[in-house]
Chain A
């Protein structure tokens, strides 16, 4: 089977740093995506990791450890507009091109 776990909710303060974790247990792995979704809107792409290590993109970074089945999304210099849900998604269970999403983490930013 497959399982993707993320914390349900997190709260952080404007200007701070927050790390959102994602652990996965899948029978095959070919990459991990992070998406951002504001309330009432469609998800938008943030990052894609297929190799171990850290990928940095502006204020957002994503890390992957394939041996541990673990990823995190790091958000720096938090802004109020970062209040959203963050979805972790894993590609390629059993190499069949499916992309399976976790339940998402709702991030609340306090002023």
Chain B
């Protein structure tokens, strides 16, 4: 099993560009999460999903969108990139909210 995979690993965007961060898991997790982590800081929850077709906002959803059409995939969309979105983005999956989260390796995004 590959676990939780994220692509790309690194990306540089210009202000106003858009992109999709991909997240795929092969662990049959119902729950999936997107976090961002600024330098020296903890994780901030952007969006999460408790199953296919269901998504909810986290602490910092502004400027992002998600979809969950399948159990395996949970892409994160940035429509108009801003320098404030420069961060490391982690996707995670779990069997339930009482279960441990398995994190992907992260995507390092810079917006210039």
Contact = CB atoms under 8 A, between A and B. Distances in A.
Residue of A48, A96, A98, A106 with highest tally of chain B CB at under 10 A = A98
Contact of B97 (A30, A43, A104): A30
A44 B43 contact: no
Contact residues on B (Cβ < 8 Å of other chain), bracket? 20 to 34
B36 to A, nearest CB: 11
Interface string A90-111: 0110001111111110100000
A103 B41 contact: yes
Interface string B25-68: 00000010101000011111100101000001011000000000
Contact of B98 (A91, A103, A106): A91
Contacts of A43: 43, 90, 101, 103
Contact of A45 (B45, B50, B100, B106): B100
A33 interface: yes
A30 B59 CA distance: 18
B101 A99 contact: yes
B95 to A, nearest CB: 12
B97 A101 contact: no
A87 B42 CA distance: 7
Residue of B33, B43, B44, B50 with highest tally of chain A CB at under 10 A = B43
Interface of A: 30-31, 33, 35, 41-45, 48, 50, 87, 89, 91-92, 96-104, 106
12 contacts: A42-B90, A42-B103, A42-B106, A43-B103, A45-B101, A87-B42, A96-B56, A97-B31, A97-B48, A97-B56, A98-B45, A101-B43
Interface of B: 31, 33, 35, 40-45, 48, 50, 56, 58-59, 90, 97-98, 100-106
Q: Which 3 A-B pairs have the closest CB atoms?
A: A45-B100, A42-B103, A103-B42
